[in-house]
Amino acid sequence: MSTALMNSTHMNRTLQAWRLRLPLERPYRLAFGPVEALDTVVVRMAVADPPAGEAVEGYGEATLLTGYTDETIDGAWSSACALLDAAARPGFDLAGALDRLEPDQPFLATAFRTAAEMAAMAPALTLEEPARVPILGLLQGDSPAQLAAEIDGLLAQGYRTLKLKVGFDPARDAAAVAVAQRVLSDRARLRLDANQGYDPAAATEFLSRLSPDGIELFEQPCAAGDWAAHAAVVPVARARGIPLMLDESIYAVSDIERAAQSGAAGFVKVKLMKFGSMDRLVAAIARIRDLGMQPVLGNGVAADLGCWMEACVAARHIDNAGEMNGFLKPRARLLADPLVFREGAIELPARWRPRVNRATLDRLALATAGPAGKE
């Protein structure tokens, strides 16, 4: 049905978009620089008389993070405005336009496709029973005392998997890991994420300083496109007993297959914004398992919409802590009925259909496009 909504006649279909900058409660430290706000495009698709015979609407999200993806917020917004202008013309093939857009701008294409999927309440978004989706907590303390306080606070909130960002300096990063391991004392699993911050020599030095105790995985040590660099780290990680995970290197099923064929990772992380639609995301997760690896799902740099959609998939298809905690970072929430976080998990009611707060979108918008306004 979502394809039918995208191909509805221009008389029946309404498309709108908002460009947002969502300030965070605190800076999110990454190897390629701190993130202080989410740069997000939200797309709304409404159809007045779909096949079901009643008006429906759906929303999709694209949050662009410089350094993680080649897409930029300026480029995404320009393309979104162009798509909305073209979609107002009779006979415009939106589905075909998104197919052409996706190779270069998968995040933006996903925003349009998932808006249609939400409007259609695709099966992947419809949970027949309530669900709890455990998610991980983030460690960002600089000193041992700060890390210890953060760990105690996160454990008290119910988190049982924590993530520590590394990729800055091998010696200092390893010292921070040792502090976390000592304070955790096996009370939670620990994930380490370098966000491409190391070269092979630095990654090797970092690993050589680690004890594997309590470490669930080590994520993306080297540059996304440098598979040779990553391959150089694989034997060192194996010798240390620390599984590797790829994230930034994974954009398509072909990347998943390459990871399996090369033995590059025991874990593969996927995110909705890379895969274009809910169905494709579910298929990617299945392919990871088919190839003998473990899937991890979730976007720590996404707002409410993307995190809700990923949590719906995780409820059925993932058996480890989700990384869809981005919705907890901004000061503002986009949903009128916010996602519920309790005891370390997102709680999803059965057959829940969230409502987007249009007033919040309008208030936070740097620019709008579509019937509600032009840039």
Please tell me whether the overall predicted TM-score, pTM, comes out greater than 0.85 for this model. yes
Mean pLDDT of 104-133: 95
Looking at residue 56, its pLDDT comes to: 87
Q: Which residues contact 138 (CB under 8 A, 6 or more apart)?
A: 28, 162, 163, 165, 300, 325
CATH superfamily of 131-348: Enolase-like C-terminal domain (3.20.20.120)
Of 10, 80, 46, the residue nearest 365 (C-alpha): 80
CATH 1.10.1670.10 fits 2-126+358-369, yes or no: no
In tens, the pLDDT along 185-216 reads 989 999 999 999 999 999 999 999 999 999 99
Q: At 31, is the pLDDT very low, low, confident or very high (cuts 50, 70, 90)? A: confident
**Cα–Cα distances in Å, from 300 out to 217, 238, 264, 329, 341?**
17, 27, 23, 8, 15
Q: At 66, is the pLDDT very low, low, confident or very high (cuts 50, 70, 90)? A: confident
In tens, the pLDDT along 94-116 reads 999 999 999 999 999 999 999 99
Of 171, 163, 159, 158, the residue nearest 198 (C-alpha): 171
Radius of gyration of the chain (CA): 21
Q: What is the domain partition of the chain in residue ranges?
A: 2-126+358-369, 131-348
Q: At 50, is the pLDDT very low, low, confident or very high (cuts 50, 70, 90)? A: low
Residue, of 39 and 32, whose pLDDT is higher: 39
